[in-house]
Amino acid sequence: GENVEQHPSTLSVQEGDSAVIKCTYSDSASNYFPWYKQELGKRPQLIIDIRSNVGEKKDQRIAVTLNKTAKHFSLHITETQPEDSAVYFCAAREGAQKLVFGQGTRLTINP
């Protein structure tokens, strides 16, 4: 089955700098890659996603890139703000619907 690896597990950046989180997946048949943000004690919130027929997608300060050949995808957050502090999860869709999640990255934005 699908296996998703996520790095780093913790990331600390200065406010205003950029943050990059990387994930690799194992199943070349996976075709959908969402990113979720989870604040402490809250639900995971979908922040951006990308499908396998697209190489890059951007939404304001957030962008995701996908390299199908290498089977990796990355989340980029620019001009980071304190409210970006949270745990971020990448995922890959295996089969018709099942999501396989990475282990999470705890992002801390230092003022």
If binding is defined by CB under 8 A, does position 102 make contact with another protein? yes
Considering only residues 13, 49, 52, 65, which one is a binding residue for another protein as defined by CB under 8 A? 49
Between vectors from CA 39 to CA 33 and to CA 45, what angle results, nearest 5°? 35
Site track 3-42 with another protein (rule: CB under 8 A), x = hit: -----------------------------x-x-x-----x
Interface pattern 72-91 for another protein (x via CB under 8 A): -----------------x-x
| CB-nearer residue toward another protein: 49 or 74 | 49
